[in-house]
Amino acid sequence: VHETEDEWTSLMRLAISGDSAAYHRLLKAVTPVLRAGARRGLARAGQPIDQSEDVVQDILLAVHLKRHTWDANAPFAPWLFAIARNKLIDSLRRRGRRVYVNIDDFADSIPNEPVAETASASEIAAQLKTLPPRQRDVLQSIAVESASIKDTAAKFAMSEGAVRVALHRALASLTAKLREQ
Amino acid sequence: MSMETEQLIRSLAADNTHRARPVGFVLALGLLVAAPLSLAMFVLWLGVRPDVMAAMHNPFFDLKFVVTLALAVAAMALSLHLSRPEVSLKGWWWLLLIPLGILAAEIAGEMMVPQSLPMMVRLIGSNSRICLTAIPLMSLPLLAGALVALRHGATTRPAAAGAVAGLLSAGLAATLYASHCTDDSPLFVATWYPIAIGLVAAIGALAGSKVLRF
C-alpha cells in the first residue's frame, strides 16, 4: 500500500512540474481505488452503486481543478482521499441523503485487483450539451476522438492557446454545472 | 453524447498545462480589491482621531494595533491552512490565542500602574456602540473579498474556514477602527472588540458553510 501511495506522490510531483503523461498515468492509477471507495460509500448509504461512476467522475474533476491546493511536500494519498470523501458526501447530499461517510471508505479500498468500470456515468454526459458549442467541440475532440491539442486546433482553425482555454473552460464549467444540479 | 471515465481522464491530462494561482495569491488579491471599500467607509464615516500624534505616546494605544494585526495575521495563516482539504485544525488553532495572550498581558500591565479612571469606567468607555457597529460594517467588504477568494481553495470545513475568514476581515477592520477610537484601555478592547469580531466570525461561518463547499 505504501509503495503505491509513494508512487502516486512522485507521479503527482512530475505532473505539477508539467509532465502530462505522468498525470495521465496517475489519474488512471487512482481511478479504480476511487471507484471501489465510491461503491463502498454508496452501499453504506443505501444508494444504488450504479451511481458510482458519476461519483468517480465528479471526484476526478475536483482533483483536477483543485490540485493547486496539494502541497508538493506532503504525501498525495491523504489529499486525494479528502477530496474524494468531500465529493462523495456532496453527491449523497445532492441526492437528498445526509449520511455519515466512513473516513476509511477510500483509504481502505486500495484494491488488489483493479475494479472495472461496470455502470456508466451519465451526469457529465447530460451536462455536455449545455456547454457553448466551441467548448463542447474541443472537449469532444480531445476526450472522445483522442485528438491532440495541436490536431484539435488545426481541425477547428483555432490557435493552440485558444484550444487550451476552451478545454479548461469546458472542464471548469462542467464542474460548476454539476454543483448547481 | 457520453463521457466515459477514460475519456474524461484524457481531457484532464490534456489540460495539465493549465496552472492555477496559489490560494494565498488569490486571497491577497481578494482583500486588496475589497480594501478600498472598507477604507472609504472609514475615511468618510470615522476618520483617524484628532489627537493621534499625542495618542501614539500611549503604549496602550499602540498595542491596540498589535492585537488586531496579530489576529489578522493568525487568521490569514489559518485561512490558508484550512484551504487544503486534508488538514485539521490540530496544532493550528492556538494561533488565535496570540492576540488574546497579548491582551491579557496588557490588562495585567494596566492593573499594575495607578489609573485616573475607575476600572468599570475604562471598561465601558464611551465608544462601545460605534465599536459594535463600525467593526462589523467595515469588515463586510473584506469578508466578501476573502470568501470569494477562498472558493479557489478546497476546504472540507466550510463553516470553520468561513469563521476564520470572518476573523481575518474583522481583524483588519478593527485595525482601522482602533485608530479612530479614543478608548485605549485593554479592558475596553477585551470587552467590546471580541463581541464585534465574534459577530463577523458568525456571519463568516454562516456564509462559508454555503459558499465554500466544493
Place of cell 472588540: B193
Question: Torsions phi, psi of A118, nearest 5?
Answer: -105, -60
Pick the more confident residue, A113 or B34: B34
- Distance (Å, whole) CA B184 – CA B88: 36
- A79 inside 8 A of chain B by CB: yes
A87 membership: H or E segment, kind and range: helix A76-94
Average of pLDDT values for B177-195?
97
How many CA atoms lie within 13 Å of A166's alpha carbon, on the beta-carbon side?
Answer: 22
Q: What residues of A are in contact with residue B8 (Cβ under 8 Å)?
A: 57, 60-61, 124, 143
What percentage of residues in chain B have a pLDDT greater than 90?
95
B103 membership: H or E segment, kind and range: helix B97-112
pTM of the model: 0.93
For the record, the C-alpha cell of A136 comes out as 463542447
Q: What residues of A are in contact with residue B15 (Cβ under 8 Å)?
A: 64, 164, 167-168, 171
Radius of gyration of chain B measured on its C-alpha atoms: 20
Give residue-wise pLDDT tens across range B51-82. 999 999 999 999 999 999 999 999 999 999 99
How many CA atoms lie within 13 Å of B178's alpha carbon, on the beta-carbon side?
Answer: 25
Residue B173 has a CB neighbour count (10 Å cut-off) of 28
For the record, the C-alpha cell of B38 comes out as 472598507
Q: Which is it for the CA torsion B199, B204, B209, B211, positive or negative?
A: positive
Question: What is the per-residue pLDDT for B68?
Answer: 98
* Complex ipTM tops 0.90: yes
Name the band, by pLDDT with cuts 50, 70 and 90, for residue B27. Answer: very high
- Which residues have a Cβ under 8 Å from the Cβ of A17 and sit 6 or more positions away? none
- Which residues have a Cβ under 8 Å from the Cβ of B100 and sit 6 or more positions away? none
Residue A131 DSSP code: S
Question: What is the per-residue pLDDT for A117?
Answer: 65
Amino acid in position B80: L
Question: What is the per-residue pLDDT for A176?
Answer: 92
Q: What residues of A are in contact with residue B3 (Cβ under 8 Å)?
A: 57, 121, 124-125, 128, 143-144
Amino acid in position B54: A
Question: What is the per-residue pLDDT for A50?
Answer: 87
- Distance (Å, whole) CA A13 – CA A26: 10
Residue A132 has a CB neighbour count (10 Å cut-off) of 12
Amino acid in position B139: S
Q: Kindly state the greatest CA–CA separation across chain A.
A: 50
Average of pLDDT values for A64-73?
97
pLDDT of residue B11 exceeding 80, the answer is yes
Q: What residues of B are in contact with residue A67 (Cβ under 8 Å)?
A: 20
Average of pLDDT values for B147-161?
97
Pick the more confident residue, B125 or A96: B125
- B17 inside 8 A of chain A by CB: yes
Name the band, by pLDDT with cuts 50, 70 and 90, for residue A21. Answer: very high
Average of pLDDT values for A39-67?
92
The distance from CA B200 to its chain's CA centroid, rounded to whole angstroms, is 8
Q: Do B19 and A68 touch (CB under 8 A)?
A: yes
Average model confidence (pLDDT) for chain B? 96
Classify residue B24 as exposed, middle or buried by CB count within 10 Å of its CB (0-12, 13-18, 19+).
middle
Pick the more confident residue, B61 or B91: B61
What percentage of residues in chain B have a pLDDT greater than 70?
100
What percentage of residues in chain A have a pLDDT greater than 90?
67
Residue B16 DSSP code: G
Q: Do B154 and A23 touch (CB under 8 A)?
A: no
pLDDT of residue A29 exceeding 70, the answer is yes
Question: What is the per-residue pLDDT for B2?
Answer: 75
Pick the more confident residue, B1 or A22: A22
- Distance (Å, whole) CA B11 – CA B153: 22
- Distance (Å, whole) CA B93 – CA A117: 42
A38: helix, strand or coil: helix
Residue A159 has a CB neighbour count (10 Å cut-off) of 9
Name the band, by pLDDT with cuts 50, 70 and 90, for residue B169. Answer: very high
Average model confidence (pLDDT) for chain A? 89
Pick the more confident residue, B160 or A118: B160
